[in-house]
Amino acid sequence: MSRQDVLSDVEATLGIVPGFMDSMPDMTLEHFWAFLKDFVMVDSALSAKTKALIGIGASATFRCDY
């Protein structure tokens, strides 16, 4: 998958392309997006919504800009 294909898929899925993804190398970007889309953004033992809320709580705790 080309870099532009990955970024197009990110934008179609999220509505935006997060700024940190622009600086990722091509190979890292493709694997990161595949992991994020296939494991983090799907329901499993925890729903995708619950995972997102945990991520928001963790980012607030660690004072993450993203």
In a 13 Å sphere around the CA of 48, the CA atoms on its Cβ side amount to 8
**Model pLDDT, residue 39:** 81
pLDDT tens for 19-58 read 889 889 988 999 999 998 888 778 888 888 888 899 889 8
Q: What is the dihedral of CA 5, 41, 56, 16, to 10 degrees?
A: 30
Confidence of residue 9 (pLDDT cuts 50, 70, 90): very high
| pTM, full prediction | 0.67
Alpha carbon distance 62, 58 (integer Å): 6
**C-alpha 48, offset from chain centre:** 12
Alpha carbon distance 6, 53 (integer Å): 25
Q: What is the domain partition of the chain in residue ranges?
A: 3-61
